[in-house]
């Protein structure tokens, strides 16, 4: 059984009450449950975390290098600003899938650039909470190849 880290960036703790027209009505706890169920179907377990602090996300990526087979990350707004996350993902050497609830390319221009995408194994956006399940499915496929 492999462990998959699912890491969530700033403001995702407000899911279910924050801009529901954009992000949907599911809470982060709902998404965590869905991720655990999806990973279990593949024989994997999930470590699910959220932080509003960039450095904490970097620390968790470093930890994942030692404890996880792969990472699913929704970096939130850090997607568009964090070279530190890009460097951490490049450094850990395990597959990372970037996920976004909304289609970042259908939103404001500044959201069209991701510092994470160039170092991610794959990117999923625009499918709401289902994107997390798709990311875990894709990661599980990559891990079994």
Active-site option among 5, 44, 100, 115: 100
CA dihedral of residues 82, 32, 36, 2 (deg, nearest 10): 20
Judge whether 23 counts as a catalytic residue: yes
* Beta bridge mates, 73: 7, 98
Q: 19 — alpha (psi -120 to 50), left (phi > 0) or beta?
A: left
Q: What is the pLDDT of residue 86?
A: 98
Domains of the chain: 3-144 (3.40.50.9100)
The predicted-structure confidence for 82-140, as pLDDT tens digits, reads as follows 999 999 999 999 999 999 999 988 787 888 899 999 999 999 999 999 999 999 999 99
DSSP codes joined into one string, 8-33:
E-TTGGGTTTS-HHHH-S--HHHHHH
Active-site option among 23, 78, 115, 132: 23
């Amino acid at each position: 059984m492999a462990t998959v880290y699912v890491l969530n960036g700033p403001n995702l703790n407000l899911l279910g009450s924050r801009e529901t027209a954009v992000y949907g009505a599911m809470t982060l706890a709902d998404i965590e449950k869905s991720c655990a169920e999806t990973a279990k179907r593949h024989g994997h377990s999930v470590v699910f975390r959220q932080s509003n602090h960039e450095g904490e996300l970097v620390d968790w990526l470093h930890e994942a290098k030692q404890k996880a087979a792969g990472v699913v990350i929704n970096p939130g707004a850090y997607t568009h600003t964090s070279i530190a996350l890009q460097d951490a993902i490049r450094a850990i050497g395990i597959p990372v899938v970037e996920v976004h609830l909304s289609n970042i390319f259908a939103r404001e221009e500044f959201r069209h650039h991701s510092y994470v995408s160039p170092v991610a194994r794959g990117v999923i956006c625009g499918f709401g909470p289902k994107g997390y399940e798709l990311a875990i499915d894709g990661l599980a496929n990559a891990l079994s190849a």
